[in-house]
Structure formats: structure tokens, C-alpha cells
Amino acid sequence: MDVDIGNALASAASPGVPRSYLDRLDARVADAHERIERGMADGEFGYAALNLPERVDTGAIRDAVAPLDGAEAVLTVGIGGSALGAATLTDALDTEGEAYYLDNVDPAQVSDLLDDLDLESTAVNVVSRSGTTAETLANFLVVRDAYEARDVDWTERTLVTTGESGNLRDLADEHDLPVLPVPEGVPGRFSALSTVGLAPAAILGVDVETVVEGARRERESLAGSLYETPAYAYGAIAYALDARGANANVAMPYHESLETYAEWYAQLHAESLGKDGLGQTPVRALGATDQHSQLQLYRAGPNDKLVTFVRARDGPDVPIPEADLDGLDYLADSTLGGLRDAEFEATEASLADVGLPNVRVTIDRVDAASVGGLLYGMEAAVVLAGELYDVETFTQPAVEWGKEVARDLLRGADALDEKETLRVTRE
Amino acid sequence: MDVDIGNALASAASPGVPRSYLDRLDARVADAHERIERGMADGEFGYAALNLPERVDTGAIRDAVAPLDGAEAVLTVGIGGSALGAATLTDALDTEGEAYYLDNVDPAQVSDLLDDLDLESTAVNVVSRSGTTAETLANFLVVRDAYEARDVDWTERTLVTTGESGNLRDLADEHDLPVLPVPEGVPGRFSALSTVGLAPAAILGVDVETVVEGARRERESLAGSLYETPAYAYGAIAYALDARGANANVAMPYHESLETYAEWYAQLHAESLGKDGLGQTPVRALGATDQHSQLQLYRAGPNDKLVTFVRARDGPDVPIPEADLDGLDYLADSTLGGLRDAEFEATEASLADVGLPNVRVTIDRVDAASVGGLLYGMEAAVVLAGELYDVETFTQPAVEWGKEVARDLLRGADALDEKETLRVTRE
């Protein structure tokens, strides 16, 4: 990926980062890069994620998904990092068949989806690092029941991705299911480029080797200066802008197929950097659609946001058929892609015009290699930012409190005392 | 809808609103309510939206969609407010058939969708207030071409919703298409409860009269005090929290089918209140999924957010099949809904525990009447907030600048000078 941070400099934006500050920050980037390289070399927890392009065994993925060959759809049962990376890839890239995700615990969604699916031709991909994730196991039990109720052999259609032990591992052993290991030392939100993220894409015919190759090329660009490393330029500018009041981080791809990418980035960013009272709020947006929704606020509201555009240099296009339409002469001889590109340029200029900091991330195409590079680059950006913030990038301690309470409630603990109530109800 | 703002009071949260301040603010709410009632009585621009439950002619909608009876899918071509309200309804409610939306300008999306659709059984619903929206007209021309290329008569399958004049009106006249009027005096983002939002739902068998009836009941609850009006309680607390540093407004429904609702709310909020340097940043989230994505940040990051939960008291449920799973004893005898509800309660408590302001919005079920009430209530909340902020709630002047630039670019104007560049590229 390439990154243009010009519109986030103090010469263009307010808040903006002075070039002289960036030059000084670059010394910290060099130190952080050393730390990151050391973590990678030692396979330290979290840093190990950045080794995935060299470590992931796509041959093993191919072997594990071989028994599912011919599936016309894949239903992935997983939540958070066990679903989002995979969904980002299957939504972004052309697939042979449909990818579905049960990444919530919602009775209406589960029954509607199971009613609609032809289970005979649907593979199930169940993913949980621990093998004990409540939402995932509960959903999987319901899915398994549906296969049995319709006399379809789920054991011939199920792939398990999990750790060395736990319920899912036992289940796989018992029914002789294909199993993929979760990568060691890699938090869920950093697992898009591992077995976890790649398996559903592989089942649906995506060239996962090329995804990995794109990530590997991005990995090779990591160097000790933000001026040489697109990923570090992005991580450093986001960090520096947050300190100057840009406390929202808007991911705004200009491709419908990258909508899930923005959701993936929101998780990566929030869980990695949202700690110790720090962290920008990630916001998902989509161009051109959100020009008709969020742009009013971005341009005329508080200058407290960094807007990150993501777009491809090249891609498929569709000509706009000729028609004699009043006031729409400017569409003549254009294409849908041309219209989209003009809207992108205008929106970028429109934010620059009011000094709202924005960054342009460019990839070659929305294809396997470029998307692999984009995901790797953004992971490296977040790791770099974590070093600059000096937070524990790879843990998520704050989610444990609620998990424990939910378990207690299900075990029959009394309903929680509400902290404070002020109910306003309709007469 | 019912609203509990207890966890946003100063006694529970930081930032939080002192009860004494709320009491004083209530005098301004009374004045604002008078202003709103006057605007409604006079049918003033924008305020007229709050009259829709009495004004919308569902009979005319039924008549206009009658020729499309039997369609198995509806493809709506529209952008922003011309799509989001309709999508919120068709995603939230049970429909007979599928609803698709072309609400972007993206060549890959358009060709993939048209390749997949059985056009013979697909109705087209094209929506543009002005009849000249570039994205919508361009997409519609491509769609029409696809029907013609496959020898399917689009004129028998197309409904137009537009104003008194413009390209779409001319087209409808020329081909004798059914036409629905856009509601007078109602900005697009406030048009969910009008022809614009209701037509696709009506084609797909939704009981739109009940949607409107639910809105009407919510309309009757509007009174001159935030303590008596759930919608005003919400609008007032959001406003008061923004002033105290909660500059992000997170909509977090706990139903998968309300995911689009959060997107609708984000548009309503951003375009209405994002002006004059003011306006919270709307953030879309989804429970329980985003507990595994955003909760770490919400609990451990800066206390600069208001999190608004939306949930239903009642709904369908699915038992979790029995299984002997290590460490998951607490799932025994439970249901997917029970697990979801426990996770909701735990998450709400988890934010209250750290004093992050949060509000609980409760509806009876995710059904026609309650969703109609929810949309109306949130519109009234935003109108009230607009009065408190003293902004022009119903305009969106900041989006015009970019539209003009995009048109110039397409007409062949030179590429824009970039304000500032600092490109970092891979070696």
C-alpha cells in the first residue's frame, strides 16, 4: 500500500502535525521498529503476527479444506477476530460461492439463516481459539442440530480451527474432522493472514497464496523510518493527530467490497489501542455512500477526526449508458468508476478545504495481493502506534469483566443491581 | 420506545449530567417542544416530517405497488435518505422476498448484483427527490440496460418515487410507470415513514399500516417535558453529554436485524446536528458482536462516548441443544436469546462500572409497530437536540461544495491541485 499523509500535516490541516515534529517522531519510530523486529525475531506474543506471511502454511490449509471441495457456501461460526478477518477477505475478493458468518448470538438471525441455507451444499467452518467461546459453541450446537434434523451429515462438511485442547478439539477428535491449528502467539484480531482468516476464502476458491504473497511484500517494506514505510507513516500520523485532538479515526474505503475491511480495522484499532484511557474511536464509513450521510458532519462539525480514505488505482468499470437527461450532461461518456473517482477527489478536497486531517491509502486493485498487503500494512501500523502510545497492544483485559458477569447471570446469579435509573416511558 | 437515562447521570457516570442541570434544561425542552409543535402545525420545512404518521397515505402506496405484486425481490436504486430508511425497515422486519439496495456508485457491486439477480422476478424501485441525483440516475441507467439486454420489460416492473418534476418524473410519464410523490417539506433523512421508506417494505408484504400506527403512538407521547417524553429524554441527554465531553454517540442495538438501524441513525444524527462546528460523531456498533471488538476501548479508553443500547423486551428464541462441554455448564438449559440478554446486561454493567455514560432504549419487539415507534422517536429526539444546539437541523449545506467539484471534474475540469502531499511508498 501507499500512503499520502500530506493533508494531515500542519501546513494543510488543523489539527495537523508539523513537519518538524514528524522529523523528531521519526527517531521514536526507529526505536519502535527495532523493538518490533526484535519481537518478530523472538516470536514474542503479538509481534509473532507480523511473521505470518513467512509462517502460515497454505499447503496445510489446502489439505484441510480439500474434504469440503464442492461446497457452494461456507458458514463460518466464530466471533470477533475469529470471523472478521475471514469476512474481510471473502467480501473483498471474488469467491466461488457464498460466505456466511454467524458472528453474533441472535436467535432470529440463526433461524432465518438456517431456514434459507441448502445444508447439503454448505460447509461449516467453526473457529474458536480456546474452543470454549460461549457464543460460538452455542451457535455451533444449533447449527449441528439443524444438519441432524435434516438428515445431512455434518461430520462430512465441518472444518474446525482451534487450539491444542478444548471442546472443539475434543469434538474434532471424536468425529475425525479436519482441524487447522490457530497460530501461536497471534491475538484473534491479528489472525486474518493465518489459518483463521484464510480457510473460508480457500474453500471458496480464493488464491490464498497470493494473499500471503501480497502481505510478504508489505512486510519487506518495514524499515526504521516513517518516511520509508507506508504502514509506519500511517501509524505515526494517527498517533500524532490523536494527541492534537483528532480523537475519531474514520476508515472510509471507496469500494463497496471493502465495507467489511472498515469493520475489521475498527476491531484491530479499538482492541489494540483502546486502553489506559487512550485510543481514538474508530468509525466505519463507506464512500461514496456516506457522502450522503456523514460528510456534512465531517466538513462542518468539529475538527476532531482523521478520515482515512482507502482506494484502488485500478479495477473493473461499467459505462453509463447514454441518455438525454436534463442537467446530467456531465454523466455523458462517463463510467460508474469515473463518477466514483470524481466524487472521491471532490470529497478529499472538500475536507482539505476546511482543514480536516485526512490520509489517502492507495492499493493497486481490490485483489488478492493488494488486500493481503493492505491488511498486513494496517496491522503493522497499529503495532507501531501501540509502541508510540506505550500500551500493551496485544491484550484486551477490559473485556473479561463482562464475560464473567454474563457467566454468573447464566448460572443463576441474581439480576444485577442497576447503578442508577431514570426511566422515561410513554403514557 | 422507553428510555432509561440513569447511567448517564452525574451520580453514575463521568461525564454525567447532574439531575439539577436536567431540571433546568427541562425548561428549554418545554420551549423547544412549543417550537416543534408550532412547526408541525404550520407544516414548516423539516418539522413537517413529524406529521408523517398522520399524513402518509398508505393507500396510495398500496395502489402504486400493486402492479409489482408477485415480485420475489425488490432492487431499490437510491442513495442516502432515499435508501437508508427503507433498508432499515426491510432489514428489521420479516419480508416475503429479498430487498437489495444500490446506494453507492461502484461498478463491481453493480455488475455482480445484476449478474446474480433473476430480473424477471425483480421489481425496481428508483428513488430521487430531485430526480437528478447523479449516482441514482447513473445506476438506474445501468439497471435499465441490463433488463433490456435480457429482454425483460423493465417498464412493467419499475416504481418511481420522486418530486413533481425532473428526469425521473419525465421518465415515469413517458413510460406510464407508477409514481409515488416524495413528501413535501421532509428532508431525505427524515423520510423513513413516508412513501420513500415504506414502498419497498410494502412490495415485500410488510404491514406498513402498522409501522405508521407505531409511529403515531410515539407521536402522541410528545409533551413539554423530557421526563414525560422518551424521545426528548434521549435528545436532551445526548446534547447535555456532548457539552460535557461525550463527543461520540455510539448506537449499539442488540439485534442483528437492527444493524441497519444504527446506520440510519448515524445519518440522521450526523446530517442534522453536524454543523457550525458542533455535533457528536455517530458510531455504529452491534451487540453482542462488538463486545469482541469495541468493548475494550469503551471500557478502558477515554470516557468520551455515549453508548446507546437498543433492545427488545421480547422476541423469538432458540434453545441451545444439550451437550456435555467442559467449562460451558452455564449454557445448559439456556437459549441463544438468554445468552444474548445476559451478555447485554453484563456489558451495560461493565460500562456503568467505569462510569462511561450509557442509555438503554427499549422497544417491545423487533416488529412493525415498535420499529415504527423507534424511528419516529429517534427523529423527534434529533429534532429536539437541534433546537437545544440551536442549529439548522433540516439542511445539509456542507455537502454541496463537493458535489459541485465532482460535476466540474466530470465536465473535464483540470484535476484538483492537491493541498499538500507527503507520499510514502513501498520500495
B228 and B367 co-located in one domain: yes
Contacts 24+ apart (CB under 8 A), A289-292: A289/B79, A289/B80, A289/B103, A289/B104, A290/A252, A291/A343, A291/A347, A291/B399, A291/B402, A292/B79, A292/B80, A292/B81, A292/B188, A292/B267, A292/B399
A196 and A243 co-located in one domain: no
What is the pLDDT at residue A5?
98
* C-alpha cell belonging to residue B158: 419499475
What is the pLDDT at residue A167?
93
What is the pLDDT at residue B419?
84
What is the rounded average pLDDT of the residues A333-345? Answer: 96
Higher-scoring residue by pLDDT: A400, A249: A249
In a domain, B85, yes or no: yes
Distance CA A389, CA A208 (A): 33
What is the rounded average pLDDT of the residues A203-224? Answer: 98
The HSE-up count of residue B131 (CA atoms within 13 Å, CB side) is 21
In a domain, B182, yes or no: yes
B235 and B297 co-located in one domain: yes
What is the pLDDT at residue B416?
86
- In this prediction, residue A232 has a pLDDT band, given cuts at 50, 70 and 90, of very high
Q: Which of A55-64, A201-210, B320-329 has the lowest mean pLDDT?
A: B320-329
Chain B residues near residue A116 by CB distance under 8 angstroms: none
In a domain, A400, yes or no: no
What is the pLDDT at residue A159?
98
A180 and A284 co-located in one domain: no
B223 and B199 co-located in one domain: no
What is the pLDDT at residue A324?
80
A61 and A164 co-located in one domain: yes
User: Which residue among A150, A180, A206 closes a domain?
Assistant: A206
B266 and B369 co-located in one domain: yes
Task: Flag if A302 and B218 touch (Cβ within 8 Å).
Answer: no
Answer whether A258's CB lies under 8 Å from A269's CB. Answer: no
DSSP single-letter state for residue B17: B
A345 and A251 co-located in one domain: yes
In a domain, B139, yes or no: yes
How far out from the chain centre does Cα A327 lie? 40
What is the pLDDT at residue A337?
98
Judge whether residue A326 has pLDDT over 90.
Answer: no
Distance CA B310, CA B280 (A): 18
In a domain, A398, yes or no: no
Strand B2-4 vs strand B98-102: parallel, antiparallel, or unpaired? unpaired
Q: A395: nearest CA in chain B? A: B296
In a domain, B109, yes or no: yes
List the one residue out of B388, B354, B274, B348 whose CA is nearest residue B21. B388
* C-alpha cell belonging to residue B41: 402545525
What is the rounded average pLDDT of the residues A370-383? Answer: 98
Q: Which domain holds residue B300?
A: 2-37+213-389
What is the pLDDT at residue B75?
98
B172 and B320 co-located in one domain: no
CA distances to A401, A414, B327 from A407, rounded to whole Å, are 10, 12, 10
| Residue that the C-alpha cell 448517564 belongs to | B8
B198 and B246 co-located in one domain: no
Question: A207: which residues sit within 8 A by CB, 6+ positions away?
Answer: A368
Chain A residues near residue B295 by CB distance under 8 angstroms: 398-399, 402
Nearest to A266 among B218, B294, B423 (CB): B294
What is the pLDDT at residue B41?
98
In a domain, A29, yes or no: yes
Judge whether residue A138 has pLDDT over 90.
Answer: yes
Distance CA A343, CA B105 (A): 9
3-state SS, residue A208: helix
What is the pLDDT at residue B341?
97
Number of A/B CB contacts below 8 angstroms equals 466
Give the helix/strand (H/E) hosting B321.
none
Q: How many domains does one find in chain A?
A: 2
A403 is catalytic: yes
In a domain, B86, yes or no: yes
- Write the CATH number for B232: 3.40.50.10490
User: Which residue among A190, A206, A222 closes a domain?
Assistant: A206
Strand order in the sheet with A73-77: A98-102, A73-77, A122-128, A158-162, A179-181
3-state SS, residue A252: strand
User: Which residue among B206, B235, B257 closes a domain?
Assistant: B206
> Chain A: nearest CA to B387, how far in angstroms?
16
In tens digits, chain B (427 residues) has pLDDT values of 999 999 999 999 999 999 999 999 999 999 999 999 999 999 999 999 999 999 999 999 999 999 998 899 999 999 999 999 999 999 999 999 999 999 999 999 999 999 999 999 999 999 999 999 999 999 999 999 999 999 999 999 999 999 999 999 999 999 999 999 999 999 999 999 999 999 999 999 999 999 999 999 999 999 999 999 999 999 999 999 999 999 999 999 999 999 999 999 999 999 999 999 999 999 999 999 999 999 999 999 999 999 999 999 999 999 999 988 888 888 988 999 999 999 999 999 999 999 999 999 999 999 999 999 999 999 999 999 999 999 999 999 999 899 999 999 999 998 888 888 999 998 6
A310 and A339 co-located in one domain: yes
B249 and B195 co-located in one domain: no
Helices (DSSP H) in B255-367: which residue ranges?
A: 259-273, 295-300, 336-353
